[in-house]
Amino acid sequence: MPNALLQEWSTPFQIAPFDQISDADFEPALEKALAAHKAETDAIADAPKAPDFANTIEALEAAGRDLDRVLSVFFTVAGADSNPAREELQRKFSPMLSAHFSEISGNKRLFARVAAVWEQRDTLELTDEQARVLMLTHRGFVRAGAALTGQADERMKEIKARLAVLGTGFTQNLLADEREWFMPLEEDDLDGLPGFVVDAARAAGVEKGSDGPVVTLSRSLIVPFLQFSPRRDLRKKAFQAWAARGANGGDTDNRAIAAEILRLREERARLLGYESFAAYKLETEMAKTPDAVRDLLMQVWAPARAQAEADAQILTAMMQADGINDALAPWDWRYYAEKRRSAEHDLDEAALKPYFQLDRMIEASFACASRLFGLEFRALDVPLYHPDCRAWDVTRNGKHIAVFIGDYFARGSKRSGAWCSAMRSQARFPDVQRPVVINVCNFAKGDPALLSYDDARTLFHEFGHALHQMLSDVTYESVSGTSVARDFVELPSQLYEHWLEVPEVLREYATHAETGEPMPAEMLEKVLGAANFDMGFQTVEYVASALVDLEFHDGSAPADPMQKQREILDDLGMPPAITMRHATPHFAHVFAGDGYSSGYYSYMWSEVMDADAFAAFEEAGSAFDAEKAASLEKHILSAGGSRDAAELYTAFRGRLPGVEALLKGRGLATG
């Protein structure tokens, strides 16, 4: 039987034929695709004609289509629906892929041709996008070590290969810890829990094969358990297991892996002539330097910590009023913060949650995209990789724009968190291709599935990333969609969250799961009024993580990252009842790969822009102002990485923003 991964796909919109692909297909398909890509790049390197943009840069853009197709399918299922066979393939593929791309980036003949085109750039009459692609291609080769020779060149290849193995190991260890731990609950342990938490715990028990309800380490279950369970002993047990992911000793412990990753990253940066990995990594971002990142984070840290410390005093008093004469602990914060929110804002999460049905929130995210950008969504009946997945044909004025896939529910085979990826990116070269975009979340199952307000924000956030991919309108795939600076990539996603807060959107789509009635005006007012509730806590746990990430990479790698983490937090004066959002052993953003290493700050860098960008709509008098929506699409969503990020934002807003909009948006502004 032919390997479906290597055939032309006759499916609607050439979506991967998941029902024809087996795990046994991946390895032979990858081997053939790697060989084909190597042959293509060797042919470019050895081309007899003098190097020019078409036979070198465009040829590189066109190469590797089979490889892209194989990897897009594999990494989709490996992240969202893993199994032992796929985990073993990941471990096997990581060094293979590292060696393959190291060989290409280290191909001296190929780099010589790229460098020759770069030297001619002023005489080539390139379009702005072509000039950008040339710059990025040349810079990518240099930063990958193409200019290194001899022992340094060989060492760079070894470092890349080892980092690939370590990143895969870190991810799989974390998945194992999250998958294997759960806490059975007796019936009386459910006392005080809202119905939606009980339902989620029972559904999790079925998934785990337990006789009764359980708490797992899925954020969509453990966070509401920590918010509502009056049992301090159970909250402590659950929180400590959540905090200990990747640090439980044995085969799944990530602490030694993190230390080795940091050492190798430092060595990699120094081989390339940088004083630190942070200096290397940030050179290509909007921030440019570690000092610029530190300055932003510290401007936010001081008011956030002050707010958190004031909140801690209130929560401690509430706890002591309950007869608990103890210091406020991390497993207490969410419980007493929820009680305080209920008291101060008269908001009952159990009463609120039925208004945030998953299906209605999906409709809301689509409806906003329709009003802003003219997009329409039609359900597709196609085989996907898991029964939970759904697909839509995205059109505008009757023309196909993209395929959107949603995979929303938590399961043991899926890594934690939420993400967006393109199984196929938009491009017009060498052929026109429309994107296939997927959002993956980890919401608790239910009938109907109900979201927290935070879950609903996550859904809008990931759909903002999807819009960045779907509305992309560039020629070359290397600058398509979210192929932008890391501290710019979160702008569209965080900006889109604002439309969830638009009153008319909530009035229409926040309807009760049982009665179908819209959210009462009084409740709506309370929801929006509580938007900044507990923002000191949320900001402190995030900024602490971002600062630890930065300090890990700015200077010599720490011999003991856990000790270094403690020192950094002590120097910051970390409130004792708050922990980092992502402690080192489960900080997948930073250690599962290089994506967010030295870059976890980027969510906040982007938030400086998203607060300012949404203000443009408010200044125009409507969240759906047609002129602002068209400008947002033209200058940001459709442009991908075809121009410098600062240039794109300035084209939309007329200037770059300061931190004031962020502090105001988080309710942390003083004076």
Amino acid letter at 466? A
Query: How far is 552 from 278, CA to CA, in rounded Å?
Result: 9
Report the distance separating Cα 22 and Cα 517, nearest Å.
Answer: 45
Question: Dihedrals φ, ψ of 535, to 5°?
Answer: -70, -25
What is the spatial distance between Cα 543 and Cα 84, in angstroms, rounded to a whole number? Answer: 35
| Mean pLDDT along residues 172-194 | 96
Structure tokens at 284: 């290509």
CA-to-CA distance for 552 and 258, rounded, in angstroms? 10
* 324-368 pLDDT tens trace: 999 999 999 999 999 999 999 888 888 899 999 999 999 999 999
Chain centre distance of CA 667:
25
Separation in Å, CA 632 to CA 362, 511, 636, 639, 650: 22, 29, 6, 10, 11
Residues across the chain: 671
Q: What is the pTM of this model?
A: 0.94
> What pLDDT is stored for residue 259 in this prediction?
98
CA separation for the pair 311, 83 (Å, rounded): 43
pLDDT 10s digits, 143-181: 999 999 999 999 999 999 999 999 999 999 999 999 999
Pairing mode, if any, of strands 436-443 and 419-424?
A: antiparallel
Which 8-state DSSP code applies to residue 530? T
CB neighbourhood size of 472 (10 A): 28
Q: In 174-298, which ranges are E strands?
A: 182-184, 214-216
The reported pLDDT for the residue numbered 34 is 98
Q: Is it true that the peptide bond before 430 is cis, omega within 30 degrees of 0?
A: yes
Q: Please compute the mean of the pLDDT values over residues 61-75 and round it to a whole number.
A: 97
Told to judge if 462 belongs to the known catalytic residues of this protein, a careful annotator would answer yes
Indicate if the pLDDT at residue 670 is higher than 80.
Answer: no
Q: What pLDDT shows up at residue 529?
A: 87
Q: What angle (nearest 5°) sits at the alpha carbon of residue 338, between those of residues 334 and 343?
A: 150
For 592-597, what is the mean pLDDT?
93
Report pLDDT digits (tens) over 465-505: 999 999 999 999 999 999 999 999 999 999 999 999 999 99
**Domain architecture of the chain: domains with CATH:** 4-147 (1.20.1050.40), 181-245 (no CATH), 251-347+535-600 (1.10.1370.10), 354-529+603-665 (1.10.1370.40)
pLDDT in tens, 396-454: 999 999 999 999 999 999 998 999 999 999 999 999 999 999 999 999 998 899 999 99
Say whether pLDDT at 61 is over 60: yes
Of the listed ranges 246-260, 315-329, 523-537, 639-653, the one predicted with least confidence? 523-537
Asked if 437 and 423 touch (Cβ cutoff 8 Å), the reply is yes
CA distance 40 to 34: 10
559: helix, strand or coil: coil
Strands 214-216 and 376-380: unpaired
- The percent of residues in the chain predicted with pLDDT above 90, rounded, is 94
Strand, helix or coil for residue 335 = helix
SS3 state at 286: coil
In this prediction, residues 569-593 reach a mean pLDDT of: 97
Judge contact between 276 and 287, C-beta under 8 A: no
- Amino acid identity at 465: H
Strand partners, 11: none
Mapped onto helix, strand or coil, the DSSP state of residue 408 is strand
Give the model's pLDDT for residue 472. 98
Going from the C-alpha of 317 to that of each of 227, 321, 333, the distances in angstroms are: 17, 6, 12
- How does residue 18 score in pLDDT terms, banded at 50, 70 and 90? very high
436-443 sheet: strands from edge to edge: 376-380, 390-396, 399-409, 436-443, 419-424
**Identified catalytic residue from 40, 266, 462, 541:** 462
DSSP 500: G
Tell me the pLDDT tens digit for each residue of 460-471.
999 999 999 999
State the average pLDDT over residues 257-274.
Answer: 98
Please state, in angstroms and rounded to a whole number, the distance separating the CA atoms of residues 191 and 177.
Answer: 27
- Residue 671's pLDDT is what? 56
Q: Residue 422: which H helix or E strand, with range?
A: strand 419-424
Tokens of 629: 């929506």
Give the integer Cα–Cα distance in Å for 240 and 253.
Answer: 15
CA distances from 664 to 29, 68, 660 (A): 52, 43, 6
Instruction: Please report where in the chains the tokens 């020629």 appear, as a residue.
Output: 475
Cα 288 to Cα 141: distance, rounded to the nearest angstrom: 19
Span 275-281, average pLDDT: 98
Residue 198: its pLDDT value, please?
95
**Of the candidates 34, 41, 46, 31, the residue with the CA atom closest to the CA atom of residue 62:** 41
What would you report as the CA-atom Rg of the chain, rounded to the nearest whole angstrom?
25
Largest CA distance in the chain: 83
